[in-house]
Amino acid sequence: MNLPLIIRAEEHNEKTAIATTDEAFTYRDLLHTSSQIATGLLKNVEDLQEQRVAFLIPPGFEYVATQWGIWRAGGIAVPLCISHPRPELEYVITNCGASIIVAHPNFESILRSLANEQNLRFILTSETLPSNVGRLPEVDITRRALILYTSGTTGKPKGVVTTHQNIQAQVTSLITAWEWTSSDRILHILPLHHIHGIVNILTCALWAGAECHMLSFDAKTVWNRICQGDLTLFMAVPTIYVKLIAAWETASKQSQKSMSEGCAKMRLMVSGSAALPVEVLEKWQTISGHFLLERYGMTEIGMALSNPLHGERRSGYVGKPLPDVEVRLVNESRQLVPAGTPGEIQVKGPGVFLEYWQNPQATAKAFQDGWFCTGDIAVVENGNYRILGRMSVDIIKTGGYKVSALEIEEVLRSHPDIQECAVVGVADIEWGERVCAALVLQRSQSLTLESFRSWAKERLAVYKVPTQILTVEELPRNAMGKVIKPTVVELFRS
């Protein structure tokens, strides 16, 4: 029995599945190429039996065909981030115990040496694919499908494992709620190592038999594509909407008109992965005529809450539970709270992840009586959920990414001139939160932001690198010696 995603694709053979700036690929192309990739991955075995295959490929047809190829060969797909420096890639590859690395030639220099050091099979996407497609294994939907890495509050990222069944539940819930059809065309500009880009856009589009148009984000290119007027859906993070607004504001009156008309032809525009500032929502509505649909989810659960497709959307709210998702709010004693009282969001449903990869303690800790504990605080007002923030101050949401302050601090402490540091998120209109670091330097040292950032970029993903630093004599601490993060945030505000 083939995976339902594959069976559905067979119904859309000649339809366009993936389009890039240069060419378009049909569902038949995707099925054929992914079966060749699966054959190549299998080599001399009948089934990868959940072997982890890490892959680093820019957005486009090859990325999708490889992801599907891994699934069709019975493997677990572990997408790597194209902007991550070597230490972060190495962490993921080692942590998930990958046995195969697939890389685009652009990333050969960084990954081949890693594969050699760890004695892993290394495949380049430029290698010739097998001409004969072998017999592919039957993959049950209860098998593990995907491992995505999320910043844990306790430092190093954890591997979130979802099964084919979990992904299917996440996808069908969104397809029902947002009424996806095979006549949809979506523009995809988001990273593909993140649930927003992989599930909400790519897999939903392919499940529905829709067209997924893939582009690297650049405000001008995106506006040009929107101006063509044939798109029906667009999903992005608040940071991207801020950049699109800025580009619209500098455009000529004539260009503005055609940009706005391109937006008006779409049926839905969505914002997620971070809180959407009200002024951004209002500006976007003026430009596009769309009141952005905000929703709430996370790597572990897929999407849980959404404003309605039809009916009133409320600014600052993330709506109600999606189809087949149960949501509740509990207080610190884990009792249900009444409406109007803040509580921790807990989620239950078939889309909730299976486990943290080889981390049973963290998995057990994340659940309470079968409910996943999100660590996010919300309140229900007039039946709608409003997110108030993290229970932990150590998760920073910046540009749609969740980053762990503790993980960044650990890296910064290895700098020869830094004695102590505290990393915080400071509210910011463009990024949601900016990553900022208060530093206590070794005696008589000074540090420029520029030299600090270029040092940090070699060790951290660019969105984790603090954009602002502040040198202090000492960090504010409580009686127990714990750094008082809210006070650090105030230092940056003042």
Instruction: Please tell me the predicted confidence (pLDDT) of residue 113.
Output: 96
Q: What is the largest CA-CA distance in the chain?
A: 69
For the segment 226-248, the average pLDDT, to the nearest whole number, is 96
Task: Work out the burial of residue 118: count CB atoms within 10 Å of its CB; fewer than 13 is exposed, 13-18 middle, 19 or more buried.
Answer: middle
- Cβ-proximal residues to 252 (8 Å cutoff; 6+ apart), any chain: none
Instruction: Please tell me the predicted confidence (pLDDT) of residue 180.
Output: 98
Instruction: Please tell me the predicted confidence (pLDDT) of residue 130.
Output: 95
Beta bridge partners of 423: 437
Instruction: Please tell me the predicted confidence (pLDDT) of residue 61.
Output: 98
**Is the model's pLDDT at 155 over the cut of 80?**
no
Instruction: Please tell me the predicted confidence (pLDDT) of residue 191.
Output: 92
321 or 404, which is more confident:
321
Instruction: Please tell me the predicted confidence (pLDDT) of residue 416.
Output: 92
Q: What tokens appear for 84 in the block?
A: 């991550």
How much is the mean pLDDT over the chain?
94
Instruction: Please tell me the predicted confidence (pLDDT) of residue 206.
Output: 98
**Is the model's pLDDT at 226 over the cut of 90?**
yes
Q: In sequence order, what DSSP letters do the residues of 147-203 get, joined into one string?
A: EEEE--TTSS-EEEEEEHHHHHHHHHHHHHHHT--TT-EEEE-S-SSSHIIIIIIII
**Mean pLDDT: which of 269-283, 367-381, 389-403 is highest?**
367-381
CA distance linking residue 254 with residue 86, whole number of Å: 45
pLDDT band at 388 (very low <50, low <70, confident <90, very high): confident
**Is the model's pLDDT at 154 over the cut of 70?**
no
Helix (H, G, I), strand (E, B) or coil at 72: helix
Q: Among the CATH numbers 3.30.505.50, 3.40.50.620, 3.30.1330.30, 3.30.300.30, which is that of 395-493?
A: 3.30.300.30
| Of residues 167, 166, 238, the one with CA closest to residue 200 | 167
DSSP letter (8 states) at residue 266: -
DSSP letter (8 states) at residue 130: P
**Is the model's pLDDT at 444 over the cut of 60?**
yes
For the segment 453-457, the average pLDDT, to the nearest whole number, is 96
Count CB atoms within 10 A of the CB of residue 104. 19
Region of poorest pLDDT, from 328-342, 367-381, 395-409: 395-409
CA distance linking residue 413 with residue 405, whole number of Å: 12
**Does residue 26 come out as left (phi exceeding 0), alpha (psi in the -120 to 50 range) or beta?**
beta
Count CB atoms within 10 A of the CB of residue 133. 15
278 or 146, which is more confident:
146
How distant, in Å, are the alpha carbons of 195, 220, 280, 363 from that of 187? 16, 14, 20, 35
Count CB atoms within 10 A of the CB of residue 257. 12
Q: Which helix (H) or strand (E) holds 94?
A: helix 86-96
Q: Locate the domains of the chain by residue range.
A: 395-493
Count CB atoms within 10 A of the CB of residue 70. 28
Instruction: Please tell me the predicted confidence (pLDDT) of residue 153.
Output: 47
Helix (H, G, I), strand (E, B) or coil at 427: strand
Q: Please write the tens of the pLDDT for every residue from 159-204.
A: 999 999 999 999 999 999 999 999 999 999 999 999 999 999 999 9
Give 3-state DSSP helix, strand, coil % of the chain, rounded to 5. 35, 30, 40
Contact assessment for residue 79 and residue 162, using Cβ atoms and an 8 Å cutoff? no
pLDDT band at 470 (very low <50, low <70, confident <90, very high): very high
Instruction: Please tell me the predicted confidence (pLDDT) of residue 278.
Output: 87
Q: Which helix (H) or strand (E) holds 455?
A: helix 449-457
Vertex 458 angle, CA 454 and 460, to 5°: 105
CA distance linking residue 180 with residue 207, whole number of Å: 9
pLDDT band at 2 (very low <50, low <70, confident <90, very high): confident
For the stretch 349-352, contacts whose Cβ atoms lie closer than 8 Å and that sit 24 or more positions apart, written own/partner, are: 349/169, 349/173, 349/301, 349/304, 349/324, 349/325, 350/165, 350/166, 350/169, 350/324, 351/166, 351/169, 351/170, 351/173, 351/301, 351/302, 351/303, 351/324, 351/325, 352/166, 352/300, 352/301, 352/302
For the segment 423-442, the average pLDDT, to the nearest whole number, is 94
CA distance linking residue 158 with residue 357, whole number of Å: 7
pLDDT band at 479 (very low <50, low <70, confident <90, very high): low
Instruction: Please tell me the predicted confidence (pLDDT) of residue 211.
Output: 98
**Is the model's pLDDT at 1 over the cut of 70?**
no
Contact assessment for residue 408 and residue 423, using Cβ atoms and an 8 Å cutoff? yes
